[in-house]
């Protein structure tokens, strides 16, 4: 997958995108991530990317000209490129959307700053994405979240392909509890079933604990989760006990 990120603060991405799993994916060629300084597409000596809002009001607004020029150069005119604006007004980023984005060939992510985008910039976007109902000082951190969540679903990025399948939200449920050695620590023991070697019992326990944890912490997720009728009844009992 190819990912281009347009920002006025390209230096923010260096350490994040060169480290850990994403860094290794880039080194191996699974990912091709390029960071672009939006100021390279300005045409004045001050390299201006913002201006005062028409109609008055506080703050500054991202100018359309540099963004349009950048997209003209970076984004493909065909279907190969998907232009994403990161903004608190966008579609909430969830695992379903992450999976959809991971199937794209080329993502072009535009990071906002100041009071937001000139509205005409939105005409160039295929999708507007929000990472939560709060406001950041710019879109760079949100872009990093998008890149990290999308990248780990690509074949060859994670060491074990099954890792992404068992994680929270991958099947509509929160992930089951995980343990490692030692089997007993600070008076707390690993559940016996995980030491049994019985893979069928372990799978059943993990499924039940995943449903239990979701019912206790995020019951809103259960509505769309794929559950049998007995599993739904189990979830309802857990919810009743916690209310």
Same domain, 204 and 173: yes
Q: Is 159 a member of any domain?
A: no
Same domain, 139 and 25: yes
Give the tens place of pLDDT for each residue, 101-130: 999 999 999 999 988 999 999 999 999 999
Long-range contacts of the stretch 134-140 (C-beta < 8 A, 24+) = 134/88, 135/88, 136/88, 137/113, 138/7, 138/8, 138/9, 138/111, 138/112, 138/113, 139/7, 139/85, 139/86, 139/87, 139/109, 139/110, 139/111, 139/112, 139/113, 140/7, 140/9, 140/12, 140/13, 140/111
Same domain, 210 and 127: no
Q: Is 93 a member of any domain?
A: yes
Q: Is 62 a member of any domain?
A: yes
Mean pLDDT, range 25-52, rounded to an integer: 96
Same domain, 143 and 177: no
Q: Is 163 a member of any domain?
A: no
Same domain, 119 and 7: yes
109 neighbors 4 (Cβ within 8 angstroms): yes
Domain of 238: which CATH number? Answer: 1.10.1270.20
Mean pLDDT, range 152-165, rounded to an integer: 75
Alpha-carbon gap, residue 23 to 2, rounded angstroms: 14
Alpha-carbon gap, residue 95 to 127, rounded angstroms: 16
Same domain, 54 and 26: yes
Mean pLDDT, range 53-73, rounded to an integer: 96
Number of domains in the chain: 2
pLDDT of amino acid 164: 58
Q: Is 87 a member of any domain?
A: yes
Indicate the residue among 151, 182, 216 that finishes a domain: 151
Q: Is 161 a member of any domain?
A: no
* Confidence class for position 167, pLDDT limits 50, 70, 90: low
Same domain, 190 and 117: no
124 neighbors 62 (Cβ within 8 angstroms): no
Alpha-carbon Rg for the chain in angstroms? 22
pLDDT of amino acid 111: 98
pLDDT of amino acid 163: 60
* Domain, as residue range, for 190: 168-242
Residue 228 DSSP SS3: coil
Mean pLDDT, range 13-27, rounded to an integer: 92
pLDDT of amino acid 158: 86
Give the tens place of pLDDT for each residue, 184-198: 999 999 999 999 999
Share of the chain above pLDDT 90, in %: 88
Same domain, 136 and 235: no
Q: How many CB atoms lie within 10 A of CB 107?
A: 24
* Confidence class for position 172, pLDDT limits 50, 70, 90: confident
Of 17-31, 104-118, 163-177, 219-233, minimum mean pLDDT range: 163-177
What are the tokens at 71? 């997209």
Same domain, 127 and 207: no
* Confidence class for position 161, pLDDT limits 50, 70, 90: low
Q: Is the pLDDT assigned to residue 162 strictly greater than 60?
A: no
Residue 89 DSSP SS3: strand
Mean pLDDT, range 131-147, rounded to an integer: 96
Sign of CA dihedral 84, 89, 92, 93: positive
Q: Is 20 a member of any domain?
A: yes
Give the tens place of pLDDT for each residue, 218-237: 999 999 999 999 999 999 99
């Amino acid at each position: 997958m190819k990912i281009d990120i347009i920002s006025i603060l390209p230096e923010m991405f260096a350490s994040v995108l060169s480290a850990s799993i994403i860094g290794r994916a880039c080194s191996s060629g699974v990912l091709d991530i390029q960071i672009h300084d939006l100021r390279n597409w300005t045409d004045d000596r001050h390299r201006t990317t913002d201006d005062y809002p028409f109609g008055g009001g506080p703050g500054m607004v991202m100018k359309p000209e540099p963004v349009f020029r950048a997209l003209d150069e970076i984004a493909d005119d065909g279907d190969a490129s998907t232009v994403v604006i990161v903004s608190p007004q966008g579609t909430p980023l969830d695992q379903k959307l992450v999976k959809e984005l991971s199937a794209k060939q080329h993502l072009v992510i535009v990071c906002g700053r100041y009071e937001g985008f000139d509205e005409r910039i939105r005409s160039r976007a295929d999708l507007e994405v929000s990472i939560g109902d709060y406001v950041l000082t710019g879109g760079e951190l949100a872009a990093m979240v998008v890149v990290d969540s999308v990248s780990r679903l690509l074949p060859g990025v994670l060491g074990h392909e099954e890792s992404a399948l068992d994680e929270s939200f991958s099947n509509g449920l929160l992930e089951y509890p995980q343990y490692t050695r030692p089997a007993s620590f600070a008076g707390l023991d690993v559940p016996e079933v995980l030491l049994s070697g019985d893979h069928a019992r372990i799978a059943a326990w993990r499924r039940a604990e995943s449903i239990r944890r979701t019912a206790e912490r995020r019951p809103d997720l259960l509505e769309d989760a794929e559950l049998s009728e007995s599993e739904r009844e189990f979830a309802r009992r857990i919810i009743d006990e916690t209310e």
